Amino acid sequence: MLLGVNIDHIATLRQARYTEYPNLETAARIVENAGADSITIHLREDRRHIQEIDVRNLKEIIKKPMNLEMALTDDMLIFAEEIKPEFCCFVPEKREELTTEGGLDVVSQISKIKESCKRLTDLGTRVSLFIDADEKQINAAAETLAPYIEIHTGHYADADNRKKAEKELENIKKSIRLAASLDLKVNAGHGLNYENTGNIALIPEILELNIGHSIISRAIFSGLSEAVKEMKAIIDNPKSSL
């Protein structure tokens, strides 16, 4: 099973101050060197984290495949046609949401998705549809030209008790079996963290997990002590930088 690391929230931190740091290309290099199998970024309509320039710069320097998540709008499609990422994941998007809150409604827009898939597939991009673990959506996904689906694990991750988590997990497993029987390749992601990923990683049909927020959050604590020590060393032994 592969790991795609979503680095959006490195950009969230940068955009909080409009600084040059933390540098996204440096982050991508670290993530790749640590074993990530792909770099995932979501260019949101409100540009709250990733910017167009980030996508262009990352496309130049990353060695692993880029997975560009985007809403299914004309502007985004034109942008994706210019970038030609190795993977493109269509996601639903609402401006007011904190993060992607549910899967794409494939059932109501099969022909639009089909046409968009064709445009990107012709340029060599493999398309994935981010959908809920729902039989109707999976059957509809099989009618589009998308070779991949990404099962939304957010409902499982958000379950606030064991019974609900087990129910969501069973639903995910059932949906993945259906998808595999329809020859869809299956990825999964959203809300996965250091406690809940094991159960998902045990599902053999899943090809790749896309994980972001928990990894970037964990990285703060892995690096916080070192960061304080480095600043302390500067203050204890100050040198002019001018």
- Active-site residue identified among 9, 49, 69, 168: 69
Does 100 participate in binding ligand PXP (rule CB under 6 A)? Answer: yes
Q: Least distance in Å: CB of 19 to ligand PXP?
A: 22
Binds ligand PXP (CB under 6 A): choice among 11, 31, 89, 169: 89
Does 93 participate in binding ligand PXP (rule CB under 6 A)? Answer: no
Helices (H), the chain: 8-15, 24-33, 52-61, 74-83, 110-121, 135-143, 154-158, 162-181, 197-201, 213-236
Instruction: Tell me the CA distances in angstroms from 139 to 71, 79, 104, 183, one per residue in order.
Output: 21, 28, 13, 11
Q: Of the ranges 20-28, 131-139, 178-186, 189-197, which one interacts with ligand PXP (CB under 6 A)?
A: 189-197
Does 150 participate in binding ligand PXP (rule CB under 6 A)? Answer: yes
3-state DSSP call for residue 92? coil
What phi-psi label fits residue 7: left (phi over 0), alpha (psi between -120 and 50 degrees) or beta? alpha
Is 152 an active-site residue? Answer: no
CA distance from start to end of the chain: 49
| x-or-dash string of contact with ligand PXP, 5-24, rule CB under 6 A | -x-x----------------
| Pairwise CA distance, residues 148 & 150, whole Å | 7
- Which residues are catalytic, by number? 42, 69, 190
* Interface ranges with ligand PXP (CB under 6 A): 6, 8, 42, 69, 89, 91, 99-100, 130, 150, 189-192, 210-214
